[in-house]
C-alpha cells in the first residue's frame, strides 16, 4: 500500500520540497511516524518540536517554518489530514446481507446491498434505503425511514416514525425520537403531554455516541443537513438545528430552540428553551445561552459577547481585592470629609473673626 510522496502532494494540490519519489507506507502522528511514514502537522503547538520527529515526510501549513527535506506545504492542514488518511485507509468491501439472528419485521422494506447485523431489530413498516448498514442491537422503530448509505452503529435506538436522510452516521448508544420532556401540573400530580411529533435528520449528518434527540410534541424536531454532533449531546423537542452546525460534546439544547446554519456550540454549552442562536454564532465551552443571540462570539453564563466576557473573567478573581480597596477608599474618604469639614469650620471661624 505504498504511495510516493509526489502522489500525496498531487492529491493535496501542492508539491514536494524534497524527493517526490520517496515511498510512504502510512500516515502516523508527528511523534510516532518513522522513516517510511508521513505526518500531518496542524497544531501550532507542535511546530517547536518538529526537529525531533522521525517522520520521513511532513505535511505542514504555510505559517510553519521548519528546516527539513520532504515537506509538503498546504493551506489547510486539517483538510489535508483527512485526504492523506483516506489514501492509506484499508477499506474492506463492506459486509452485506442480513446476519442470522437479525429481526426484520415482515412488513419492513430494505434496499440493495443492505447489511443488518445479528441482533439488529427492524420494526414494522420500516424502510431502509440502499447500502444502509444497521449494526448489532440497533433498533429501527416501526415506520421509520433510513436513507441510502446511512450507517447506524450498535445499540442505537431509533423510535418509531423517525426520518433519517442519506449518508447519515449515528454512533453507538444514541437515542433518536424518545419523548420530549413535556408536562403540565394537574392538581397534586404531573400530567404528561403526549409527544406525537417526530424527528427528522437530514442528509450528511453525523451524530456521536450516547446522544439523545427528542421527538416533537407536535410536528418536527429537525437536524439540518451536514450538521455534526459530538457525544452525549441533548436536543430537546421541537428544536430546529440548522445546516452545517457543530455541537460539541455534552451540549444541552432545550425545547423549541432554533440554531442557525453554521453555528458552533462548544462543549457543555446549555441553551434555554425557545431561544434562537444566530447563524455562524460561536458559543464558547460551558456557556449558558439564556436568551436569543445573533451572529458573533459568545461566552459565559449567561452568555455575553466573547471579548467582553474575556475582560470579565480576567477581572473576577480580583474582586476580593477591590472589596479591600473599596473599604480603604471609604475610610479614607470619610477621613478626608472630616478633615475638610474641620478646615472649613476653622476657615469660617476666621472669616467671622475677621468681620
Part in contact with its own copies (CB under 8 A); list of ranges 53-61, 63-71, 106-114, 316-324 = 316-324
Q: How many residues bind its own copies (CB under 8 A)?
A: 120
Whether the Cβ atoms of residue 232 and residue 208 lie closer than 8 Å to each other = yes
- List the beta bridge partners of residue 229: 207, 247
Cβ neighbour number for residue 169 with a 10 Å cutoff: 16
54 binds its own copies (CB under 8 A): no
Using CB under 8 A, pick the residue from 206, 280, 297, 306 that binds its own copies.
206
237 is catalytic: yes
Whether the Cβ atoms of residue 212 and residue 178 lie closer than 8 Å to each other = yes
State in angstroms the smallest separation of the CB of 242 from its own copies.
12
- Kindly tell me which of 112 and 124 has the beta carbon lying closer to its own copies: 124
Using CB under 8 A as the binding rule, the residues of this chain from 220 to 249 that contact its own copies are 226, 228, 230-232, 234, 236, 238, 244, 246, 248-249
What is the spatial distance between Cα 133 and Cα 309, in angstroms, rounded to a whole number? 45
Among candidate residues 237, 274, 290, 318, the one labeled active-site is 237
Part in contact with its own copies (CB under 8 A); list of ranges 48-56, 64-72, 126-134, 284-292 = 284-292
Q: Nine-digit cell at 248?
A: 460539541
Using CB under 8 A as the binding rule, the residues of this chain from 176 to 205 that contact its own copies are 178-179, 181-186, 188-194, 196, 204
Using CB under 8 A as the binding rule, the residues of this chain from 27 to 46 that contact its own copies are 27-29, 32, 43, 45
What is the spatial distance between Cα 64 and Cα 213, in angstroms, rounded to a whole number? 41
Q: Nine-digit cell at 218?
A: 407536535
State in angstroms the smallest separation of the CB of 260 from its own copies.
15
Part in contact with its own copies (CB under 8 A); list of ranges 8-16, 17-25, 125-133, 333-341 = 333-341
Using CB under 8 A as the binding rule, the residues of this chain from 141 to 160 that contact its own copies are 153-157, 159
Backbone phi, then psi, for 159, in 5-degree steps?
-70, 165
294 binds its own copies (CB under 8 A): no
48 binds its own copies (CB under 8 A): no
State in angstroms the smallest separation of the CB of 303 from its own copies.
11
Using CB under 8 A, pick the residue from 125, 288, 295, 306 that binds its own copies.
288
Using CB under 8 A as the binding rule, the residues of this chain from 79 to 98 that contact its own copies are 79, 81-82, 85-86, 89
306 binds its own copies (CB under 8 A): no
Give me the residue label for grid cell 434562537.
Answer: 276
- Kindly tell me which of 6 and 288 has the beta carbon lying closer to its own copies: 288
Part in contact with its own copies (CB under 8 A); list of ranges 2-10, 11-19, 62-70, 215-223 = 215-223
136 binds its own copies (CB under 8 A): yes
Using CB under 8 A, pick the residue from 23, 35, 54, 343 that binds its own copies.
343
- Kindly tell me which of 112 and 302 has the beta carbon lying closer to its own copies: 302
State in angstroms the smallest separation of the CB of 23 from its own copies.
19
Calculate Rg over the CA atoms of the chain: 30
- Kindly tell me which of 17 and 203 has the beta carbon lying closer to its own copies: 203
State in angstroms the smallest separation of the CB of 107 from its own copies.
13
Catalytic residues: 237
Amino acid at each position: 500500500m505504498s504511495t510516493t510522496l509526489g502522489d500525496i502532494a498531487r492529491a493535496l494540490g501542492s508539491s514536494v520540497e524534497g524527493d517526490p519519489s520517496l515511498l510512504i507506507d502510512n500516515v502516523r502522528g508527528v511523534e510516532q511516524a518513522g522513516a517510511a511514514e508521513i505526518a500531518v502537522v496542524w497544531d501550532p503547538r507542535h511546530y517547536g518540536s518538529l526537529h525531533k520527529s522521525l517522520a520521513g515526510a511532513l505535511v505542514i501549513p504555510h505559517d510553519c517554518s521548519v528546516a527539513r527535506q520532504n515537506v509538503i506545504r498546504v493551506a489547510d492542514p486539517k483538510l489535508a489530514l483527512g485526504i492523506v488518511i483516506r489514501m492509506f485507509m484499508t477499506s474492506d468491501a463492506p459486509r452485506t446481507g442480513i446476519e442470522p439472528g437479525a429481526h426484520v419485521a415482515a412488513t419492513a422494506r430494505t434496499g440493495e446491498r443492505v447489511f443488518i447485523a445479528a441482533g439488529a431489530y427492524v420494526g414494522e413498516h420500516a424502510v431502509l434505503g440502499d447500502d444502509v448498514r444497521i449494526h448489532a442491537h440497533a433498533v429501527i422503530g416501526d415506520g421509520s425511514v433510513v436513507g441510502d448509505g446511512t450507517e447506524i452503529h450498535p445499540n442505537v435506538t431509533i423510535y418509531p416514525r423517525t426520518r433519517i436522510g442519506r449518508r447519515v452516521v449515528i454512533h453507538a448508544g444514541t437515542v433518536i425520537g424518545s419523548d420530549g420532556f413535556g408536562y403540565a401540573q394537574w392538581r397534586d400530580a404531573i400530567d404528561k403531554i403526549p409527544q406525537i411529533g417526530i424527528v427528522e435528520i437530514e442528509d450528511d449528518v453525523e451524530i456521536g455516541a450516547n446522544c439523545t434527540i427528542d421527538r416533537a410534541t407536535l410536528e418536527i424536531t429537525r437536524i439540518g443537513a451536514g450538521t455534526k454532533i459530538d457525544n452525549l449531546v441533548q436536543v430537546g423537542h421541537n428544536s430546529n438545528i440548522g445546516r452545517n452546525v457543530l455541537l460539541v460534546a455534552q451540549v444541552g439544547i432545550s425545547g423549541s430552540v432554533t440554531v442557525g446554519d453554521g453555528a458552533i456550540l462548544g462543549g457543555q454549552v446549555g441553551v434555554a428553551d425557545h431561544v434562537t442562536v444566530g447563524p455562524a454564532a460561536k458559543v464558547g465551552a460551558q456557556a449558558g445561552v439564556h436568551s436569543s443571540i445573533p451572529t458573533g462570539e459568545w461566552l459565559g453564563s449567561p452568555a455575553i459577547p466573547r471579548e467582553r466576557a474575556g475582560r470579565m473573567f480576567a477581572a473576577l478573581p480580583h474582586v476580593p481585592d477591590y472589596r479591600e480597596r473599596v473599604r480603604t477608599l471609604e475610610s479614607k474618604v470619610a477621613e478626608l470629609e472630616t478633615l475638610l469639614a474641620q478646615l472649613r469650620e476653622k476657615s469660617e471661624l476666621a472669616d467671622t473673626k475677621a468681620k
